[in-house]
Amino acid sequence: MKLKFLLIPLILTLLLIGCGSQPIEVTVTKVVDGDTIWVSHSGEDIKVRYIGMDAPEIFGGTECYGEEASSENLRLVGGRDVYLTFDFGRYDSFGRTLAYVWLSSNTKDITNMVNYILVKEGYATVMTISPNIKYAGSFTTAEAYAAVHDLGLWAACKEE
């Protein structure tokens, strides 16, 4: 009986923050770099870190293809309304909200996901951190595609 009372709050929490949540529409107010943005939602400014990928850095020493990744992210989402969905881990150690960022509310079509687009076009690499693994397989496939086709950083950063 005690187990039942312990499981109910856990299940409710997972449902609220987990993979099944509805997309949240937000407005991108600033593109920080290739994998981080600021968004506005209900009057609140939120710093969002893309789940499942890592773009080259432009702060603290620019990495190869960092500027290009930031520019592409800006082109894709700058000033636009986008949609956020979440996995199980909602925040990173820096307090940023972790999210999948979508160009439309159609979250069934992964080609609408910015995280996926940036990996598949060679602007970012896969970075899987548990428990946020919902799209890890799709990201790995996208990365392999970009590498095989010498897209983006896979062509530009071979010497590094």
Q: Which residues are catalytic?
A: 49, 57, 96
Residue (of 73, 87, 64, 65) closest to 33 by Cα position: 73
> How are the residues of the chain apportioned to helix, strand and coil, as percentages rounded to the nearest 5?
35, 25, 40
Which distant-in-sequence residues (6+ apart) come within 8 Å of 137 by Cβ?
Answer: none
